[in-house]
Structure formats: structure tokens, C-alpha cells
Amino acid sequence: MPVAVHWFRKALRLHDNPALAKAVAACSAPNSSLLPVYTLDPHFVKNSHIGTNRWLFFLESLQDVDRSLSESGSKLLVLRGEPMTLFSTLFDTLIANGETVSLYFEADTSPYARNRDAAMLELCASKNIAVHTFNSHTLFNPSDVIKVNGGITPIVYQSFLKVITEKMPAIQPATPTLTQVPPLSDEMKALLTYTETFGFDAFQVPSMEDIGKAVPGENLVSTHKGGEREALKRLEEYMKQKDLVCKFQKPETNPAAFQPASTTILSPYLKMGSLSARTFYHELMKVYRASKIGYTKPPVSLLGQLYWREFYYTAGYGTPNFDKMLGNPICKQIPWRTDEQSNVDLEKWATGQTGFPWIDAIMIQLKQEGWIHHLARHSVACFLTRGDLYISWERGAKVFEKLLIDADWSLNTGNWLWLSASAFFHQYFRVYGPVSFPKKYAPESVKYVRKYIPALKNFPEKYLFEPWKCPIADQKKAGCIIGKDYPKPMCDHDAVSKVNIGKMKVAYDEGKVASPPKAPKGKKRPLDED
């Protein structure tokens, strides 16, 4: 009997999920079964770079998928262990029972996934199992973009736009939402009783405790809830604000705005795949088409934001060692600090103890909620790297990877490369002022700092972003002594940023880039401006 195994990884959704839709369609023959599987891979479970908020958000996303499947009488089989070993046993069990097995999953372009999936293809080939993969995590398949660009990875956003608008086929409509999936038969459940030997119920989405993760303390639980339902609700609510959508200009959005934030906060859902980028795109197009006031354009528009995502996915796919400085052909080779003190400074930055309230409030929001605004990310990334601390973007990216609920290999790496002026962006002399920048966003930035740093709750507004300048009498009145209740600044921004610009200039003048990307023999680099 045919069994279509659907392997959930990202794409934790029933809307616009072509791999799942095809697996369901393959079950139209009588006596065929759909087996939805998730594998909790020790590579991730044991990985200390995933923080508790992201685990919570992920488990909520998984529970939501299981809930949707259960509504049709199906169930998600959550296996815990190394995927190849688990699938090998699963396939053997099914084959021994006389089933004809096929496997469906969404393609994933991140380095670990590419290796894992290559191994899966080999495993399936060895067992004569047909495999069907689909690209639905991004609007464009990164390898197709590179192919139509003559084998060159576009590393300039405008060039990338040209490629996708002039050379790529139109974005396909979203796959219809699955309102019904085949139920999981009792026979199939009986066949899978071997999973009971694992010592846990594999038809149960595990809790944080089940997978050995500490539940975060009350004030450290993110207010962002995971799952497809929440994702679609948020998308719908945002798209109702037609003026906001049509006038969206990213640089004009306020990084200090909270409740509501000034951008969509859909990134964690796109990352998990509980929201399809294509669904987002088509909903956006509906609003644009119906608009009587016109709409903004990339790179600053909301569509432009989706294209930034595509841009970094493509760059990440086509660039060797994308997440490293060494061996990365598009990355400036900068001698970042590696001294002992840099460990201490990194820790101060990561824990919101720099003594610069704007920087600290952002890092505290990040730790508590797992999401911060794009310009807030700019501020702290610039501060850590070329702005103030001269610490490698790779170390900053690791901290983000742990704390962000939307942590995404391509986007996190690409944006850190940008902010540290290591790739994509080269105006290293344009530095964010940790005091001057937040002043532009008052009064929201004032409320923001007071919310995330309670010690500064009553601090006079005049000194809020540079509290060390506040007269001691006023500090006493505010109940916050700088150096005791809140740290002194860890550096003199004006002085240190000048020194760092000088160091960046030297690195740039020495032309320290690993080596520029080259076109395959005989081909030009037609659209690549950099």
C-alpha cells in the first residue's frame, strides 16, 4: 500500500505548502496513507546557540501544526534523534510491512540542511524510495536566480532586483490551504508502536521539559506566540491597515515603537515557515492593486523588505563560507579585537551593561522578547563592531542567533556583514551614535528606555541617553546613581569611533577582501556592480 511520508522541517503550515499538498494528493488512491513526521535533531536540540524563547516559539509552532492535522484525524509523529537513523528504521518498518514508501519535503538552502538532505537522498536511493522536494521557503529559488544571472551571485541589492524582475519567471500563486488531510489509520498507528521503545509518546509534541530545556523565567517569556494561526492572524491584521502598508518606508519606521511596533513582526513566522513568503507577497499585492494612493517601492517598501530576504538567501546560498570572515570571498578581512578584554566587553554588550541606555535597552528587549526592530539591530550591531567595541561580527551574530526568535542563518549573517561594513555596505565612516540616534525618536525612545531599564525609570529626560552627564543631585533625586545602580559608559564613543574609523580605513586601503567572486569561464558579470 502506498505511504506518503511528509517530513516537516520549516514550512510548519498547512497553507501554501506544496510538498504537503503533493503528499496529500498522492494519498488519493484507496488504502494509501499520509504520515506526517518531524524529527527533533540533536544537532539543534544540543545546540547552545538556540535560546529558550526560540525553543518555546518553535514548540508552539509545532503544536499548531499538530492541532491542524488532528482536526482531520491525523497526527504529527515527532521523532527525537538523528534523522537518518530514525528514517532508516521508519522506512524499514514500513517496507517490511509491504508498503510502497515515498518521501516529500520542502528544500532548505542552509548549509547544515543541504548536507543532511543530500544524505537523505542517498538513504532513499538505497531503499528505492521516491523523493519529492519543493522550493517554498523563499519567493525565488536561490540557485535559479544565480543561474539566470550567468552563474554569478548578485551581491548588490539593485542588481538582484534587476535579475528577479527581468529574468525570473513571475511568482507562482500560493498552493491552496489544506483544510483536510487524510486521517492516520489505526493500522498505521499500530505499525508505529515500535516508537514506544523510545520511552516517550512520539505522537505527542514534546514540552520544553521533555527536551531538557529550562522554561524561561516569567519576565523572560516572549510575548510573541508561535504558530500558523497566529501568523495568518497577524498578516491579516497588518494588511487591513492599507495606508500603512502602501506608505511603508522602512527607514522611516520607529525602532523604539512598541505596542504596536512600527513594522509587521512577521519575521519569526517567516523563519519557521509558519507563514509562507508567497502568501505574504500575494496579500501585499492585493493591497497594492486596490490602492488609490499608490505605494512605495523597493528597497524601502514592504515588498522591498521581502526582497531583502530573498537577496540574503541568494547571497548565502551562492557565497562560500558566508557565515565566516575567513575564506569568505565577499567579506573584508578586518583585524577585529581578540584580546582577553574583548570577551568581557562582548559580555557587557550581550547582557545590556554597556552604560549606553539605548544600546542596553535594545539588548534587554532582545533577551526578554526575542525580537527587536531593524534599526535597533543596526544600532547594537554597529556599536559592537566598527562603531565602538571593534569586536567581530561573527561573535555578534552568535549572540543574535541565540536570542532572536527569528534567527535565520542567511538573514542574520547577511545583515551582520552589512552592518559591520564587511560586505554589501562600504560606508564604514557612517557610524550610529548611541546617544544622538535615539534622540531622533523621542518621545518613544524615552518610554522605550524607561520600560526596559527600570533603574532609569525616573531619570531626567535631558540625560536619559547619556546619564553619566547628569549632576549627582539629580541622580540622587531619580534614585539612580551612575556607577552603582546603572553602569558608567564602557567607552568614550566620540573618541573610540574616530579611532575605529581610522582602523577600518587602513583595512579598506589594504584591500582586504578574501577574493572577489568570479564568473565561470567565458561569462561576464553582467549585473554585478560591486
Residue 305 vs 314, nearer CB to ligand FAD: 305
Cβ burial, residue 524 (10 Å; 0-12/13-18/19+): exposed
Is 427 marked as binding a ligand?
no
Q: Judged by CB under 6 A, does residue 415 bind ligand FAD?
A: yes
Name residues contacting ligand FAD, limited to 78-137 (CB under 6 A).
Answer: none
The least CB distance from residue 266 to ligand FAD, in Å, is 4
Question: Which of 254, 460, 465, 488 shows the shortest CA–CA distance to 372?
Answer: 254
Residue 288 vs 468, nearer CB to ligand FAD: 288
Residue 74 vs 264, nearer CB to ligand FAD: 264
Is 264 marked as binding a ligand?
yes
Q: Judged by CB under 6 A, does residue 381 bind ligand FAD?
A: yes
As a whole number of angstroms, the distance between CA 517 and CA 530 comes to 10
DSSP per-residue string spanning 286-316: HHHHH-SS----TTTSHHHHHHHHHHHHHHH
Q: Which residues lie below 8 Å from residue 234, measured CB to CB, with a gap of 6+? A: 264, 265, 266, 269
Stretch that binds ligand FAD, among 106-114, 200-208, 259-267, 357-365 (CB under 6 A): 259-267
Q: Judged by CB under 6 A, does residue 452 bind ligand FAD?
A: no
Give alpha helix (H) positions in 28-129. 42-45, 52-70, 83-96, 111-126
The least CB distance from residue 475 to ligand FAD, in Å, is 33
Q: Judged by CB under 6 A, does residue 264 bind ligand FAD?
A: yes
Among 378, 395, 402, 450, binds ligand FAD (CB under 6 A): 378
Q: Judged by CB under 6 A, does residue 403 bind ligand FAD?
A: no
> Positive or negative, the Cα torsion across 435, 437, 443, 446?
negative
Beta-bridge mates of residue 77: 37
Q: Judged by CB under 6 A, does residue 266 bind ligand FAD?
A: yes
Stretch that binds ligand FAD, among 152-160, 327-335, 342-350, 402-410 (CB under 6 A): 402-410
Q: Judged by CB under 6 A, does residue 265 bind ligand FAD?
A: yes
Among 412, 445, 497, 500, binds ligand FAD (CB under 6 A): 412
Number of residues that bind ligand FAD (CB under 6 A): 28
The least CB distance from residue 307 to ligand FAD, in Å, is 8
**Residue found by looking up cell 551574530 in the block:** 397
As a whole number of angstroms, the distance between CA 110 and CA 160 comes to 20
Q: Which residues lie below 8 Å from residue 110, measured CB to CB, with a gap of 6+? A: 316, 409, 410
Stretch that binds ligand FAD, among 105-113, 261-269, 435-443, 502-510 (CB under 6 A): 261-269
The least CB distance from residue 412 to ligand FAD, in Å, is 3
Stretch that binds ligand FAD, among 58-66, 72-80, 206-214, 398-406 (CB under 6 A): 398-406
Stretch that binds ligand FAD, among 18-26, 120-128, 403-411, 436-444 (CB under 6 A): 403-411
Question: Which of 353, 413, 346, 348 shows the shortest CA–CA distance to 385?
Answer: 346
Could you tell me the end-to-end alpha-carbon distance of the chain, in angstroms, rounded to an integer? 55
Is 266 marked as binding a ligand?
yes
Is 311 marked as binding a ligand?
yes
The least CB distance from residue 270 to ligand FAD, in Å, is 4
Q: Checking phi first, is residue 321 left (phi over 0); if not, alpha (psi -120 to 50) or beta? A: left
The least CB distance from residue 260 to ligand FAD, in Å, is 10
Stretch that binds ligand FAD, among 118-126, 325-333, 384-392, 406-414 (CB under 6 A): 406-414
Residue 59 vs 419, nearer CB to ligand FAD: 419
Residue 15 vs 378, nearer CB to ligand FAD: 378
CA atoms within 13 A on the CB side of 241: 13
Residue 432 vs 452, nearer CB to ligand FAD: 432
As a whole number of angstroms, the distance between CA 13 and CA 24 comes to 14
Name residues contacting ligand FAD, limited to 272-331 (CB under 6 A).
Answer: 305-306, 308-309, 312
Q: Which residues lie below 8 Å from residue 496, measured CB to CB, with a gap of 6+? A: 388
Q: Which residues lie below 8 Å from residue 30, measured CB to CB, with a gap of 6+? A: none
Is 267 marked as binding a ligand?
yes
Q: Which residues lie below 8 Å from residue 500, measured CB to CB, with a gap of 6+? A: 386, 387, 388, 390, 431
Residue 210 vs 444, nearer CB to ligand FAD: 444
Residue 370 grid cell: 526575542
Question: Which of 38, 41, 83 shows the shortest CA–CA distance to 62?
Answer: 38
Strands 2-8 and 100-106 turn out to be parallel
Is 310 marked as binding a ligand?
yes
Annotated binding site: 263-267, 305-312, 406-408
What residues form the annotated binding site for FAD? 263-267, 305-312, 406-408
Q: What residue ranges bind ligand FAD (CB under 6 A)?
A: 250, 263-267, 270-271, 305-306, 308-309, 312, 373-374, 377-378, 381, 400, 404, 406-408, 411-412, 415-416, 419
